[in-house]
Chains A and B, each alone.
Chain A
């Protein structure tokens, strides 16, 4: 008694892709543009105060009402910031 839902899915389970410049969807919050970047320059992450090394994929967060206040965050530090501020991050000094 073959059951059609018993078979493994035909699609290959290879690596998944998303546009490299798109941040993870959980990283997006109202009022901010969040993009995924890797750059040739090091940046200091406002979350942990450590450097983001050149070439490391991370997030650049831009307040929509104050684009000059853009900051580069480690992805995990941004996640913590969202958790800490209950999804309403404030621009850092």
Chain B
């Protein structure tokens, strides 16, 4: 078993009076892909967002319990959220390129972290685009607008942008749900490659995608963690009837 990278303990989250997550305790291992599955409204995206404090932006949210990244409780008052989000990057459902060139999109993070040397930035941009398997497609038009890329290319560029600030963990919220099968396959291949160096947590509605890309799967229902285990076990012989019914499409 690999080292634990993220550990949550009794993590409970309220939106106003409504409890959205009920005492979630789970260990996410380093350099593996962990998938969160469950029907809409089950809390999987909310839980994902607690891992880099994205829910802080919602005023009615109240959180109790702990989230430890390595050994650091990320909800401690002293934590610098900007630094946390550098370490725990995020890729969203809909690609969100800035209305800038491809180069500037990827260089954006390193630039605000104080890197201004042209050569160094060029190197970071190239490496990040290579890691995101998009370099060959864009190397001759780095200074063209990112808005001219296809949806799948935009999403891989956004992954490159995330990689440019050298995170250790990448959170992905439905990263391929708006993409065609070819682009989806590229993203899945990319995830497979990235896990060698990064810890990846992915939320997906696509059960086959969870089965294909993840090492571990957590099934959420009504804000509770119902079952968590190796993906190959969950998709062949789940322990809980609820999990079985969900993944076989009998409810949800």
> Do A and B belong to a common assembly?
no
Q: Which residues of B pack against A, CB within 8 Å?
A: none
Q: Which residues of A pack against B, CB within 8 Å?
A: none
